[in-house]
């Protein structure tokens, strides 16, 4: 039976109404999830899950119900009458709802439930250092993810489908091209500098009260120009950012008393996410365009502020008074010594504790593991040993436990396959952005002009353009990892006091 299409003007009005409802449902669900990680009582878990299930089902139904599909089909049929923003909105909505339209609802719900159920098994396996608790559910989750990929995009390789969901247009072949250009130079830099004496002052592990770290975080946010009227800072057991619009952005910080630098740079990272969302154009708000362009672009902004700004000598000097107020032990040090200490190489199997030179190698390890799982080359049972071999190859270290190895990240427990390469794209892109801005001297006049440039060339566009096109225009060309290699070489030479060309 032929379904009657909605007339163009009516379809455009319904698109605007759909976006309004989508915004409301997304905000309600996001606020509950943020509260769950920061403020809500743990006994509320079941009630919250029930409420979130309803909100998420209603949001998915906007584009995957019979009426939603009719609207999408009608908009596609009259695409010539849509303006550019409406065309992009339609494209993003079709991407967002593709899985729900193509996959049997029962199977999709089973996949989501499996992803939810694996989390406690994951934590149990970490606590007991026993992979058997998670082996079978991980295998089932990968199998289900592959089935969903085949049903949703039968002409696309299964792993490419999940890469593309996080970074529009990204493929495994493109990842390997980027990683192939990074792998040798990064390992060469690590080999060259790892034998040199590393700065390791005792104050790096000074015990700093959570309250003092939180005050320092607030001062950093203010110095970065984060608008306190539109952004709030909370404390959680993990660092993350939630944004519902440019008028409501929430940052959660995670602090450890004996590792204040990790908390500090975690906040700087999240401030990059927050500034991006706060800078999206007002005209795009309350639609699917009023969000970040992609995971990769978001991580580029976050890593730009964590590393290009946060770990720079110019920024260290700027916040030195705040640092010494929070960490009195630093009064016996200097900004220059602090800069060298926080930029030295750190041999570790943990991604979140990695230095910049090894960071992308951690991402390659995850990419190679995921790709092998999806190709069938690797079974869930053999995944820990595979991971440990790659760890030995890239870092010269084998994890001492599952928590320091294959179970250290939580992405797979929520079914988020294909996410990790975005971190590497972000790290390399951040270095190229800084070069585009004029290099490290761009920070000599403070972060205000830097933020203004980023808002003009990236932030204000939200998701209006595909991520590759947006970044190509901002960078003045395609991603070039040589900027990242040169940046690291220059910094490490300065940190270790050697001639870059020696």
β-pairing verdict for 240-245 and 248-253: antiparallel
DSSP H helices in 44-131: 45-64, 66-77, 84-102, 105-128
pLDDT digit string, tens, across residues 362-381: 999 999 999 999 999 999 99
Q: What is the pLDDT of residues 137-155, one digit of tens each?
A: 999 999 999 999 999 999 9
- What Cα–Cα distance (Å) separates residue 455 from each residue in 92, 414, 458? 22, 31, 6
- The chain-wide mean pLDDT, for the chain, equals 94
- Give CA–CA dist 237/44, Å, rounded: 17
What pLDDT is recorded for position 49? 82
In this prediction, residue 2 has a pLDDT band, given cuts at 50, 70 and 90, of: low
Which H helix or E strand runs over 491?
helix 482-496
Q: What is the DSSP string of 303-364?
A: HIIIIIITTSHHHHHHTHHHHHHH-GGGGGS-HHHHHHHHTS----S-GGG--HHHHHHHHH
| Model confidence pLDDT, tens digit, residues 443-472 | 988 999 999 999 999 999 999 999 999 999
Is residue 92 pLDDT above 90, yes or no?
yes
Work out whether the CA dihedral 330, 335, 337, 339 comes out positive or negative.
positive
Tens-digit pLDDT profile for residues 254-279: 999 999 999 999 999 999 999 999 99
CATH class as words, domain 172-496: mainly alpha
Query: How many residues in the chain?
Result: 502
pLDDT at 502: 63
* Domain boundaries of the chain, sorted by first residue: 172-496
Question: In angstroms, what CA-CA distances link 410 with 237, 405, 406, 419?
Answer: 13, 12, 10, 11
Per-residue pLDDT at 256: 93
pLDDT digit string, tens, across residues 202-242:
899 999 999 999 999 999 999 999 999 999 999 998 899 99
Give the closest residue to 356 by CA, choosing from 269, 446, 294: 269
What local confidence, expressed as pLDDT, does residue 198 receive?
Answer: 77
Q: Quick one: pLDDT at residue 1?
A: 52
Does residue 327 register a pLDDT over 80?
yes
Q: pTM for this one?
A: 0.94
How many whole angstroms separate alpha carbon 122 and alpha carbon 130? Answer: 10
The total of other beta-carbon atoms located within 10 Å of residue 332's CB is 11
Cα 182 to chain centroid distance, Å, stands at: 20
Res 110 pLDDT > 90? no
In which band, very low, low, confident or very high, does the pLDDT at 64 lie, cut at 50, 70 and 90?
Answer: confident
Share of the chain above pLDDT 70, in %: 99
Around Cβ 214, how many Cβ atoms within 10 Å? 18
> Is residue 3 scored above 80 in pLDDT?
no
């Amino acid at each position: 039976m032929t379904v009657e299409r909605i007339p163009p003007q009516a379809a455009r009005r319904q698109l605007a109404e759909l976006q309004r409802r989508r915004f409301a449902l997304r905000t309600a669900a996001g606020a509950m999830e943020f509260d769950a990680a920061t403020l809500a009582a743990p006994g509320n878990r079941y009630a919250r899950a029930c409420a979130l299930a309803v909100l998420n089902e209603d949001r998915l139904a906007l584009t995957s119900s019979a009426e939603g599909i009719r609207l999408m089909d009608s908009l596609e049929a009259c695409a010539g009458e849509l303006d550019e923003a409406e065309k992009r909105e339609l494209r993003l909505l079709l991407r967002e709802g593709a899985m729900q339209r193509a996959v049997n609802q029962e199977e999709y719900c089973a996949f989501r439930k499996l992803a939810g159920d694996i989390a406690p098994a994951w934590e149990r396996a970490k606590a007991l250092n026993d992979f058997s608790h998670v082996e079978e559910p991980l295998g089932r989750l990968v199998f289900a993810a592959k089935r969903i990929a085949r049903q949703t995009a039968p002409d696309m390789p299964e792993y490419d489908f999940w890469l593309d969901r996080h970074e529009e247009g990204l493929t495994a072949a493109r990842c390997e091209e980027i990683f192939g250009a990074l792998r040798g130079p990064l390992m060469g830099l690590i080999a060259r500098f790892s034998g040199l004496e590393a700065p390791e002052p005792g104050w790096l592990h000074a015990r700093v009260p959570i309250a003092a770290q939180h005050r320092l975080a607030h001062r950093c946010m203010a110095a970065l120009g984060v608008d306190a009227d539109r952004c709030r800072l909370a404390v959680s057991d993990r660092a993350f950012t939630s944004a519902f619009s440019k008028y409501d952005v929430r940052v959660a910080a995670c602090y450890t008393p004996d590792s204040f630098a990790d908390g500090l740079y975690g906040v700087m990272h999240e401030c990059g996410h927050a500034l991006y969302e706060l800078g999206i154009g007002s005209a795009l708000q309350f639609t699917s365009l009023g969000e970040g362009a992609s995971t990769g672009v978001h991580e580029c902004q976050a890593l730009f502020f964590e590393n290009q700004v946060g770990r720079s000598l110019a920024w260290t000097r700027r916040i030195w008074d705040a640092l010494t107020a929070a960490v009195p032990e630093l009064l016996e040090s200097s900004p220059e010594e602090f800069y060298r200490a926080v930029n030295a190489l750190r041999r570790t199997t943990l991604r979140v504790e990695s230095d910049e030179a090894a960071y992308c190698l951690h991402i390659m390890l995850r990419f190679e593991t995921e790709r092998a799982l999806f190709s069938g080359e690797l079974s869930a049972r053999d995944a820990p040993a595979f991971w440990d071999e790659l760890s030995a190859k890239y870092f010269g270290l084998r994890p001492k436990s599952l928590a320091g190895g294959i179970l250290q990240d939580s992405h797979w427990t929520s079914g988020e396959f294909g996410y990790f390469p975005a971190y590497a794209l972000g790290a390399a892109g951040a270095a190229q952005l800084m070069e585009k801005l004029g290099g490290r001297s761009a920070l000599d006049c403070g972060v205000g002009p830097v933020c203004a440039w980023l808002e003009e060339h990236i932030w204000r566009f939200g998701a209006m353009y595909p991520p590759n096109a947006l970044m190509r225009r901002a960078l003045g060309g395609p991603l070039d990892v040589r900027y990242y290699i040169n940046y690291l070489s220059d910094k490490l030479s300065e940190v270790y006091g050697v001639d870059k060309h020696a």
